[in-house]
């Protein structure tokens, strides 16, 4: 099994995955109450897990709820907040990959300043300044 296959198996077994599946079905049925409840459970599972990956996945999933009319702004705000938490974890783990993924997510949201901050943090690892950031 190569690294990509292992990551796919780990994501499939992640504690937040079943909640995101429920959320996806609820979004498809335009059921915001169930979608939000499932997302909150996914968020709690990702927050209770180690690492940044779950938080990035859960933040991105929140944007799907924003497809339901009237939920876009609130979902974008919650996704931003969750991406910041993922960034702090990635920084703590010294994960350049995690920092770049969060930067890309902020860029997708149109949050250029936040994406640039992520890139500054990533660059600081190479200069030895990461502890001061």
Q: 71-106 pLDDT, tens per residue?
A: 999 999 999 999 999 999 999 999 999 999 999 999
CB 82 within 8 A of CB 41: no
Does residue 31 carry a pLDDT above 80? yes
Does a structural domain hold residue 106? no
Q: Does residue 84 lie in a domain region? A: yes
Give the chain's domain count.
1
Q: What is the pLDDT of residues 49-66, one digit of tens each?
A: 999 999 999 999 999 999
In a domain, 103, yes or no: no
Which domain covers residue 36, as residue numbers? 3-95
Residue 118 lies in a domain: no
Residue 109 domain-assigned? Answer: no
Torsion from C-alpha of 101, 64, 78, 112, nearest 10 degrees = 50
- Please tell me whether the overall predicted TM-score, pTM, comes out greater than 0.85 for this model: no
Q: Is residue 86 part of a domain?
A: yes
């Amino acid at each position: 099994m190569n690294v990509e296959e292992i990551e796919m198996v780990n994501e499939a077994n992640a504690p937040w995955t079943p909640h995101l599946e429920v959320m996806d079905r609820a979004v498809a049925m335009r059921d915001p109450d169930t979608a939000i409840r499932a997302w909150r459970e996914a968020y709690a599972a990702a927050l209770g897990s180690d690492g940044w990956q779950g938080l990035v996945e859960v933040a991105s999933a929140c944007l799907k709820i924003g497809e339901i009319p009237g939920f876009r702004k609130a979902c974008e705000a919650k996704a931003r907040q969750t991406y910041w938490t993922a960034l702090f974890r990635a920084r703590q783990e010294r994960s350049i990959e995690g920092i770049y993924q969060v930067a890309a997510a902020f860029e997708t949201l149109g949050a250029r300043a936040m994406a640039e901050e992520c890139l500054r943090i990533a660059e600081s690892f190479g200069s030895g300044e990461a502890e001061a950031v």
